[in-house]
Structure 1
Amino acid sequence: MDRYIALLRGVNVGGAKVGMADLRRLVTNLGHDDVKTYLQSGNVVFGSSVRDAEALAGGIERAIADELGLTVPVLVRSGREMAAVAGGNPYADREEDPTRLLVAFLATAPERAAVDALAVPGGENVAFTVSGREVFLHYPDGGYGRSRFTNAYLEKKLGVVATTRNWRSVRALADLAAP
């Protein structure tokens, strides 16, 4: 049985309201084991014998729609993938403040042309690295909350669904999904 992390987009942060107890119940009822949520923002760690991340995401999306009446995009990463993200941040050694580091998880790898055209809005100091289905973000002059280089901006410019987590959450989720 492998460990997975489901990342719900826009849950309890200005979007759909989903109780974590409901989320644990839904994921458990889908036949997954050792289901745990992290924080209140739609992070679920679970064990499953299903090895298809898209099928896992689709099942959770359908359960949320059927039982809660909400349309919520779900992105799934394996425990191994999350460990690679947590160990592969190109900005981690440059920044002591974890609130200035984030990762945007993408539903699919964006088109090369969209990545090549991606630019930080004028006047902002943000570093980013697109690596497959993740965008590593570094806000050296301040927080994500004051920037225009946001999850919505990335979705628009890259043409894919995204959900962003802070560095502390990424590391905690990797730890929770470790064997």
Structure 2
Amino acid sequence: MLGAVMRQRCALLLRGINLGARNRLGMADLRRVVKELGHDDAITYLQSGNVVVTADATQVGELLEEALRRELGLSVRVFVRTAQELQRVVAANPFPSRVSATKLLHVAFLDEAPDPVALERVGLRHGDDRIALGERELYLDYTVNVHQSPLSQPLNRLKVPMTMRNWATVTAVTKLADS
């Protein structure tokens, strides 16, 4: 069928909301905006901007970005992953021995694959903390504390938009997208 829209379960991962006083967004407001876009099945998870919907994954991110700007005056980047892509992210975890450290193992979601040369320049190990390259993700293994990690500065030098989620959130959102 020509022109048919492919709707599938996907996660919308908002970047940088509810971190301190900046980009405050209540989940009720987020659900309302998402539902106004026609996604009555929207489920939010935590206060960090995780929404699972059935949608056209190629358009929903941009549509939500526009709606948040128009309705709430927020300029927020939205990263989209289908349920299948999230399953791949979980299955491809290069640090399987660290899955019980759900607050220290993170995934940085990117719009596109990071440049391997830039990543090599940044380095894949900083102290005991490690980075591993996924398809459109970086896996980050912190040993003590995300906020005190020597990885922060090197990640900023990549100069690519990203949003991070800890392993507990990644697996929970994956389960929601699978349901």
Q: Give the TM-score of the pair, scaled to structure 2.
A: 0.88
Say if 1:171 and 1:108 are closer, same or farther in 2 by CA, change over 3 A. same
**Equivalent AA in structure 2 for residue 78 of structure 1:** T
> Is the Cα contact below 8 Å between 1:5 and 1:43 reproduced in 2?
yes
**Equivalent AA in structure 1 for residue 174 of structure 2:** A
The structure 1 residue matched to 2:134, chosen from 131, 134, 139, is 131
> Is the Cα contact below 8 Å between 1:57 and 1:76 reproduced in 2?
yes
Counterparts of 1:14-163 in structure 2, within 5 Å, are: 14=20, 15-48=22-55, 50-52=56-58, 55-94=59-98, 96-119=100-123, 124-140=127-143, 142-150=144-152, 153-154=154-155, 156-163=156-163
**Equivalent AA in structure 2 for residue 143 of structure 1:** N
* Distance in 2 between residues matched to 1:148 and 1:68, nearest whole Å: 35
- Unaligned runs of 5+ residues in structure 1 are none
SS in 1 for 2:70: helix
SS in 1 for 2:107: strand
> Is the Cα contact below 8 Å between 1:107 and 1:133 reproduced in 2?
yes
Q: How far did residue 133 of structure 1 move?
A: 1.0
> Is the Cα contact below 8 Å between 2:129 and 2:150 reproduced in 1?
no
Identity level (%): 40
Say if 1:133 and 1:34 are closer, same or farther in 2 by CA, change over 3 A. same
SS in 2 for 1:3: strand
* Distance in 1 between residues matched to 2:23 and 2:57, nearest whole Å: 28
Asked whether 1:8 is paired with 2:10, we answer no
SS in 2 for 1:58: helix
* Distance in 1 between residues matched to 2:72 and 2:98, nearest whole Å: 42
> Is the Cα contact below 8 Å between 2:99 and 2:167 reproduced in 1?
no
Root mean square deviation of aligned Cα:
1.8
Q: Give the TM-score of the pair, scaled to structure 1.
A: 0.88
- Unaligned runs of 5+ residues in structure 2 are 1-6
Number of residues paired by the alignment? Answer: 172
* Distance in 2 between residues matched to 1:5 and 1:35, nearest whole Å: 10
Q: How far did residue 111 of structure 1 move?
A: 2.2
Say if 1:168 and 1:160 are closer, same or farther in 2 by CA, change over 3 A. same
